[in-house]
Structures are given as C-alpha cells and as structure tokens.
Amino acid sequence: MSSAASRPGVGPFDRAHTDDLMAFLTASPSPYHAVASAAERLEKAGFRRVEETAAWDATSGGKYLIRGGAIIAWYVPEGAAAHTPYRIVGAHTDSPNLRVKPQPDMGAQDWRQVAVEIYGGTLLNTWLDRDLGLAGRLTLRDGSHHLVNIDRPLLRVPQLAIHLDRQVNDGLKLDRQRHMQPIWGIGEVHEGDLISFVSAEAGVDAEDVSGWDLMVHAVDAPAYLGRDRELLAGPRMDNLLSVHAATAALASLAGREDLPYIPVLAAFDHEENGSEADTGAQGPLLGNVLERSVYARGGSYEDRARALAGTVCLSSDTGHAVHPNYAERHDPTHHPRVNGGPILKVNVNQRYATDGSGRAVFAAACEKAGVPWQSFVSSNDMPCGTTIGPITAARHGITTVDIGVAILSMHSARELCGADDPYLLANALVAFLEG
C-alpha cells in the first residue's frame, strides 16, 4: 500500500457518498437507467443536455449527451481556449447478466420460462435461486425509447435439488443454454406474453413496441455488511461504482472557472463484451465529442492536436481485492485491501494502460486529496483482465492510467467492496479533474 496521506478522504465527499451510491445502484438496473441516473445528478448541478444532431455553440458551462447506454459529460470553464487539454474519467455502464432474447416466450413441463442469453463473463451460479426483476428499454414504432424497471420478484433460475445430483458439491456444471433459462410462471406458453406484460408495466401499448433491450437483475437492495458496517454489498459495482464517483466528482466542479483543464466523464456501454459498439470505447463517440468541443470554441485541427497532446484519462474500473480464501491466486507482493483506497492497476503487456508517468499523475491526485492508494498487478501465472484504458490510449493517442476500487465477487450478481472506498475514489477523482 502507498500511504499518500495520514488522513484519508479529505475532500467534498464522505460516507454520505456511499449512501448515495446505494441509491444509484438501485435506480440503475440497466445501462440505460444508469445514464438517466447520472444525467439527473448532472442536471441538478446545472449541466444541460446537448444533441449530437444539433449544432454546438461556444457557450461555457456543463454539457452532456446520451447515446443509448453511454453518457459523455464535460464542463467548459469561462474563457477556456480552444486548445485547452482535457482531464477525462472513463468508466462503463454495463455489467454481466442475463439478457432477453428476440423470441422470449418458452417453456417446458408446464413451466413458463423466459429465453435469455448470457451477457459478458458472469458468474452463472450467482444467478441461481435468486429473486430477479427485469429492466431495460422498449423501442416504439416511432423510434422513441421507453425505460422500464420491474423491480420486484418476477423471475427465478431454479437449481437442481441435491437429491437429484449427489455430486453437485464436487463441482457444479451449468449448461449455458439448458440450465440458465428462468421461470416466471406456470401454464401454457403463448407467443408475445412477456412483451405484453412488460409493455403494460411500462404503460405503453404492446402493439407499439417494435424492439426491446431487456435484462435480468437481482432485486435485493444494496446493504452495509459486517459488525461495524464497514463493507458494502450490492449489484453492478463493476462498474457503476466508478460511474457514480465520476459523476459526483464532475458535478462538484460546476461553476469553477479557475480550472486549467476541461473535466470530462466518459461512461461507455458494452465494455463487458469487448467495447466494439457505437456506444463502446472502441467507437468514435468520445473522439467526436472532444473534437466538436474544440471546433465549437473556434478551434482548428492544430488546436485539437494540442488539446489531445495534453490530455490525461483515468480509466476507472473495479479490481480484485485480496481474497481471504484464495490468497494464492494473487501476486504475493500485491494484496489490495478493501477500505485501503483506490488501486493503481499495472500490466506490462498493456492489458492496463498505466506507465510510470501515469502513476505520477495518479499519485499526485491522491496526495492532493489526502487519499491513500494501493498498487495492483496480477500474478504471473494468472491471466489478466483488461479495461477501456488501453483502448482509449490507442484510439485517441492520449495518456491513460488504469485505476479503480478493489472488490470481492467481481462479476457476481452481488459484489462486495469496502464502504469507505467509493468516497475515497470520488475525492481522488475531484483532485485529478481539478488538475
């Protein structure tokens, strides 16, 4: 652990930030809800929405745009030059889960079921015998979208009783097609039943629905855990914890005209399946926003090049805290602890984008905020995951640093972090965005 200061959490955020994170997680069962929740917080701070199809002007202040499950937000200080560099916090809005197929109505043995597809690298067993809701968006015939959130026990993926699989505790084997289809009732299956039900819940006519992006979520609420409530259990921390922290950090800078950089939030969708989407980090969305912001302020291609050359991005995503039952799976000299502050993620094979220069930027931000931080590296005999960090660095040619919060049970339907780490991260992000 690197001790940047003896008094962690000096900054605008404290444990109340973690309380608000819990509300954010509950309100954000899908990427579409997550960007709506982030936009609501930004609106309260004075940010205004801009449309990609409209002309942009040179006005200062906070702005944001939404495309599907992605949101880009930025704050232009009064008088910012066209070549002013950016300070970006990157994150992602999606989490591994079960997603509804185009023909969802199915069943067997008088059970009514919903056909789902596995999204991302989810821990399948964590979805078993759990009360599940359904959320996402409906697309209407006129092209508009309607959010829907059925946040009550509706679905369940039932596990086979041990009496019918005596060896189950010696190794659970789940067939992704046959064993993961949830039940939601009994009786005869009728085509169109699910979408008719969901449409009614959303208050729209089923005949007007021409498409949907629906996904399953666990309905148990986030909760403090432990004797001293020093832990937080909840869904979708990977990576809504970072989206929430970055949104709060950016909103806290509204009205600041002394900023040497233009602070940016870039929260993408589809990170969990490779980022190759128009709303993913592989797409042109972030680059388009940065360029258009330069040009809207009267800048040239030269100004754009100067701005990007001085830009730094923190790619904020969760990482692995040392697991008490599997310590041998971690690098022996790097054991990130919960409530030990954010982690700096390093991989020399560029699964993370951090280098020595990036480390210095992150360390300076943590020192300024009075926030402790830690280093993370994977064991040499374990494959290393990746993030939007290397993608952002390579696509836009900007210095990128991979950071995050250490958690347990990553990609579970319900994950675990230290209750102090969310606000420690947020405070570090404020210091970074301030420059």
* Chain centroid, CA 267 distance in Å: 7
What is the reported pLDDT for 11? 76
Tell me the per-residue pLDDT of 24-36, one tens digit each, with 9 for 90 and over. Answer: 999 999 999 999 9
Helix, strand, coil share (%) of the chain residues, nearest 5: 30, 30, 40
User: What's the average model confidence in pLDDT over 167-179?
Assistant: 95
Secondary structure letter of residue 164 according to DSSP: G
What is the separation, in whole angstroms, between the first and last Cα of the chain? Answer: 24
2 has pLDDT over 60:
no
Q: What is the Cα–Cα distance from 98 to 101, expressed in whole angstroms?
A: 9
Contact 428, 343 (CB under 8 A): no
Sheet holding 399-404, edge to edge: 48-49, 61-67, 70-76, 262-268, 86-92, 312-316, 399-404, 343-345, 374-376
What is the reported pLDDT for 10? 58
Secondary structure letter of residue 208 according to DSSP: G
> Helix count (H) and strand count (E) of the chain?
9, 20
Q: What is the Cα–Cα distance from 232 to 407, expressed in whole angstroms?
A: 10
Tell me the per-residue pLDDT of 307-353, one tens digit each, with 9 for 90 and over. Answer: 999 999 999 999 999 999 999 999 999 999 999 999 999 999 999 99
What is the reported pLDDT for 4? 40
Query: What is the residue type of 435?
Result: G
Concatenated DSSP letters for 280-336? STTSSHHHHHHHHHHHHTT--HHHHHHHHHT-EEEEE--EEPPPTT-GGGS-TT---
Q: pTM of the full predicted structure?
A: 0.96
Contact 215, 30 (CB under 8 A): yes
What is the reported pLDDT for 382? 87
Tell me the per-residue pLDDT of 31-68, one tens digit each, with 9 for 90 and over. Answer: 999 999 999 999 999 999 999 999 999 999 999 999 99
pLDDT band at 21 (very low <50, low <70, confident <90, very high): very high
Give the residue among 90, 47, 373 at the shortest CA–CA distance from 243. Answer: 90
- Among 164-173, 234-243, 403-412, 417-426, the minimum mean pLDDT is found in 164-173
Q: What is the Cα–Cα distance from 91 to 71, expressed in whole angstroms?
A: 10
Q: Is the peptide bond before 273 cis (omega within 30 degrees of 0)?
A: no
1 has pLDDT over 60:
no
Concatenated DSSP letters for 380-401? TTS-----HHHHHHHHH--EEE
Q: What is the Cα–Cα distance from 365 to 369, expressed in whole angstroms?
A: 6
User: What's the average model confidence in pLDDT over 240-244?
Assistant: 98
Tell me the per-residue pLDDT of 94-136, one tens digit each, with 9 for 90 and over. Answer: 999 999 999 999 999 999 999 999 999 999 999 999 999 999 9
Q: What is the Cα–Cα distance from 354 to 104, expressed in whole angstroms?
A: 42
